[in-house]
Structure 1
Amino acid sequence: MCGIAGWVDWSRDLSDQQPILKKMTDAITHRGPDAEGFWTSKRAAFGHRRLIVIDPEGGLQPMVYKDGDYTITLTYNGEIYNYQELRKELEEKGHVFRTKSDTEVLLHAYLEWQEDCIEHFNGIFAFGIWDERRSQLMLGRDHLGVKPLFFAQRGSAILFGSELKVLLSHPLVETEIDSEGLAEVFSLGPIRTPGHGVFKDIKEVRAGHYITFTPNKVNVKRYWTLESKEHLDDVNTTVETIRSILEDTVKRQLIADVSVVSMLSGGLDSSGLTALAAKEFAKNGKTLHTYSIDFVNNERDFEQDFLRRDLDEPWVKRVAEHIGTHHHTIVFGADKLVENLLVPMRARDLPGIGELETSLYLLFKEMKKDATVALSGESADEVFSGYPWFHQEQFLNADVFPWLVNMSFMLDILSEDLKAKIQPEQYQKQRFQEAVSEVPFLDGESSLQAKQRQMSYMFITRFLPFMLDRKDRASMMTGFEVRVPFCDYRLVEYLWNVPFELKSIDNIEKGILRRAFQHVLPDDVRNRRKSAYPSTKDAAYLQGISNWMLEVLNDSNSPILPLIDADRVRAIAEGKDEVISGTKARGLLDYLLQINSWLQEYHIHIRL
Structure 2
Amino acid sequence: MCGIIGTTNAKISLDLFKEAHKTIYQRGPDSQLYITDYCFVFGHSRLAIIDLDERSNQPFVFQHENKKITVVFNGEIYNFLILKEILEKKGYVFKTSSDTEVLCASYLEWGISCFDYFEGMWALGLFDHQLQQLVITKDRVGKKPLYYSFEDGVVSFSSSIWGVSKLCKKKDICIEGLQLYFALGFVPDHFSIIKGINSMLPGKIIVFQKDGNQFYVKEENNSVFKSFSAKESSVSNLMKEAIVKRVIADVPIATLMSGGVDSTIVTKITRKFYKEVKTFFVDFEDKRLSEFYWADYLSKRNNLPINRVMLRNVDLNDSFADYAEVYEEPFADYSGIPSIAIFKKVSEEFKVVLTGDGGDELFYGYPHYSKKLMLYVLMKLNNVFKISRFFNVKVKKILDEGIEKFESNYLKNHAILSKFAADYIDQRFNQVRLKEKSFLRTVIQYDRVFNNLPYKYLVKTDRASMFSGTEVRSPFLDEALLRHVRKLPTWMIFTPCISKLYLKILYFKCFGIKYFLSKKKGFTPPIKELRERYFKEDDFNQLKDYFKELNSSFFNDIKNLVYDDLLNDNILFDRFFFFNIWRLKSYSKNQ
Aligned partners of 2:432 and 2:442 also within 8 Å: no
Deviations 1:303-336 (A, max 9, x none): xxxxxxxx52111111222333332222234454
| Secondary structure of the structure 1 residue equivalent to 2:357 | coil
> Within 5 Å, which residues of 2 pair with 1:302-317?
302=289, 311-317=290-296
> Within 5 Å, which residues of 2 pair with 1:118-517?
118-170=115-167, 172-190=168-186, 192-214=187-209, 215-224=215-224, 241-282=234-275, 286=276, 288-299=277-288, 302=289, 311-334=290-313, 336-392=315-371, 393-396=373-376, 405=410, 408-411=413-416, 424=418, 427-439=421-433, 441=435, 445=437, 450-462=438-450, 463-465=452-454, 466-504=456-494, 508-517=498-507
* Unmatched 5+ stretches in structure 2: 210-214, 380-397, 549-554
Aligned partners of 2:537 and 2:563 also within 8 Å: no
Match of 2:16 among 13, 16, 20: 20
Residue 46 of structure 1 corresponds to: 42
- Shift of residue 63, structure 1, vs aligned partner: 0.7
Partner AA of 1:353 in structure 2: A
After superposition, the Cα gap between the structure-2 partners of 1:529 and 1:496, relative to the gap in structure 1 and judged at 3 Å, is farther
- Shift of residue 290, structure 1, vs aligned partner: 1.3
Separation in 1 of the partners of 2:535 and 2:560?
Answer: 12
| Secondary structure of the structure 1 residue equivalent to 2:297 | helix
Deviations 1:335-366 (A, max 9, x none): 54345325233222112234310011101111
Separation in 2 of the partners of 1:391 and 1:38?
Answer: 50
Residue 534 of structure 2 corresponds to: 548
- Shift of residue 67, structure 1, vs aligned partner: 5.5
- Shift of residue 455, structure 1, vs aligned partner: 1.0
- Shift of residue 147, structure 1, vs aligned partner: 1.1
Deviates more, 1:197-206 or 1:90-99: 197-206
Q: TM-score, normalised by structure 1?
A: 0.82
Separation in 1 of the partners of 2:499 and 2:411?
Answer: 22
Aligned partners of 1:344 and 1:473 also within 8 Å: no
After superposition, the Cα gap between the structure-2 partners of 1:543 and 1:434, relative to the gap in structure 1 and judged at 3 Å, is closer
Separation in 2 of the partners of 1:217 and 1:567?
Answer: 44
Moved over 6 A (4+): none
Deviations 1:145-197 (A, max 9, x none): 11111111121110111121211222x2321123312212222222x321222
Partner AA of 1:515 in structure 2: I
Aligned partners of 2:283 and 2:308 also within 8 Å: yes
| Secondary structure of the structure 2 residue equivalent to 1:317 | helix
Q: TM-score, normalised by structure 2?
A: 0.85
Separation in 2 of the partners of 1:382 and 1:376?
Answer: 14
Partner AA of 1:201 in structure 2: G
Residue 388 of structure 2 corresponds to: none
Separation in 1 of the partners of 2:80 and 2:42?
Answer: 23
Separation in 2 of the partners of 1:332 and 1:558?
Answer: 34
Deviations 1:267-315 (A, max 9, x none): 1100011100111123xxx3x321122222223xx5xxxxxxxx52111
Separation in 2 of the partners of 1:458 and 1:532?
Answer: 24
Separation in 1 of the partners of 2:543 and 2:194?
Answer: 22
Separation in 1 of the partners of 2:533 and 2:325?
Answer: 21
After superposition, the Cα gap between the structure-2 partners of 1:370 and 1:395, relative to the gap in structure 1 and judged at 3 Å, is farther
Deviations 1:570-590 (A, max 9, x none): 3367xxx5xx1xxx33x4444
Separation in 1 of the partners of 2:581 and 2:495?
Answer: 46
- Shift of residue 135, structure 1, vs aligned partner: 1.4
Q: Which has the higher helix share?
A: 2
After superposition, the Cα gap between the structure-2 partners of 1:491 and 1:119, relative to the gap in structure 1 and judged at 3 Å, is same
Separation in 1 of the partners of 2:482 and 2:406?
Answer: 21
Separation in 2 of the partners of 1:433 and 1:567?
Answer: 27
Separation in 2 of the partners of 1:395 and 1:5?
Answer: 45
| Secondary structure of the structure 2 residue equivalent to 1:355 | coil
| Secondary structure of the structure 1 residue equivalent to 2:56 | coil
Partner AA of 2:258 in structure 1: S
Partner AA of 1:459 in structure 2: D
> Within 5 Å, which residues of 2 pair with 1:559-574?
560=546, 562=548, 563=555, 568-571=561-564
Residue 593 of structure 1 corresponds to: 577
Deviations 1:432-455 (A, max 9, x none): 22342245636xx5xxxx101211
After superposition, the Cα gap between the structure-2 partners of 1:557 and 1:484, relative to the gap in structure 1 and judged at 3 Å, is closer
Aligned partners of 2:123 and 2:137 also within 8 Å: yes
Separation in 1 of the partners of 2:521 and 2:473?
Answer: 19
Aligned partners of 2:408 and 2:425 also within 8 Å: no
Report the count of equivalent residues: 544
Residue 90 of structure 1 corresponds to: 87
Residue 232 of structure 1 corresponds to: none
Question: Alignment identity in percent?
Answer: 24
* Unmatched 5+ stretches in structure 1: 227-236, 303-310, 412-422
| Secondary structure of the structure 2 residue equivalent to 1:247 | helix
Deviations 1:362-384 (A, max 9, x none): 01111111211101101111112
